[in-house]
Amino acid sequence: MAQPRTSSRWPILRIANILFLIIACGFLIWFFQHNRTDFTRLLAEVRGRTVLFALAIFTVHQIVQGAGIAWLLRSLGVTTGFWDTVRVLLLSLLGKYLPGKIWIFAFRSTFFAERGVPVRLVLAASAVEHLFVMTTAVILFLATARFSSLDSAQRWIPVAGAAALFALLVFGPSILLAVMNRGFRAIGRTPYEGRIRRAQGIRFSLFFTGTWLLLGTGVWVVGSSLIPALGPDALPAVAGGYALSVVSGFVALFAPGGIGVREAILAGVLAPWAGAVDALFLAVAVRILTSLSEVLGLGVVEGIVRLRGQSR
């Protein structure tokens, strides 16, 4: 049986990941120490109910997105049990925090190989998944970000760009897939050689756009409780900006789990409404809550799998 590739081919990347993690954590500790008073104030303003509500949104997002990716896998020919597949997908997410940037793929390949699923199908599904996840994130950012520095006559440009990219994703996904496959070949990964039908393009695009909106809503719920200026009108911009920050963490090969990169971009997105300390505090809080939601989502799905197994 084919075994998934490991990160042994990329020792430099692993070293870069570890060094960046040390630097990022060091900066965070320094920043917290020099702004202790502000952070103490923000901690006092945290409301337990709000945190639990946001955590529930994040957890629902994890389960829904896992179910959507399982649906995508089925459309490509993976026939493992649905909830068992969701469990494997959520468990593999924990691999993103390990240096090397390939552990999600390695975990998925190993688990699915044990269930008789060819590694090539797992890699193909990952290619299609990332195509839609990353492209819809950019679309949402373009469609919702604030463009206060642009003239009124220019504000339609990002929206038009979002519409064009969405149309390309739905009606011409082969073009974007070709670009992504070139990147896969460049790093020694197996490209996806199949085709994406138009109906699939529409369904996947709408689904992943919806999951980004759900995730962004959770970020806004936490933010609005700490930053009074973050009113309902800011929700679309926060959702789009956070989607961009997550995708930026994906492509930042030097940052395990996008740590540091995601927080920096989210803090920049929040700059129009908050100071640097408040924005960074919120970015770190969101990281903690989303990480907890990954574990909680896995626990919920594990419970579903066990209950279904006992009922048979």
Tell me the mean pLDDT in the region 229-249: 89
The reported pLDDT for the residue numbered 273 is 87
Q: Which of 230, 224, 208, 291 is nearest to 257 (CA)?
A: 291
pLDDT tens-digit series, residues 57-82: 999 999 999 898 888 877 777 777 78
pLDDT tens-digit series, residues 113-144: 777 777 777 777 777 888 889 889 999 988 88
pLDDT tens-digit series, residues 159-198: 778 888 888 777 777 777 777 777 767 766 666 666 777 7
The reported pLDDT for the residue numbered 2 is 40
The reported pLDDT for the residue numbered 16 is 73
pLDDT tens-digit series, residues 242-254: 999 999 888 877 7
CA distance 263 to 28: 11
CA distance 207 to 222: 24
- pTM of the shown model: 0.82
Tokens of 82: 């649905």
Tokens of 30: 């320094």
Comparing 50-64, 81-95, 160-174, 295-309, the range with the smallest average pLDDT is 160-174
CA distance 209 to 189: 26
Tell me the mean pLDDT in the region 30-34: 81
Computed over every residue of the chain, the mean pLDDT equals 80
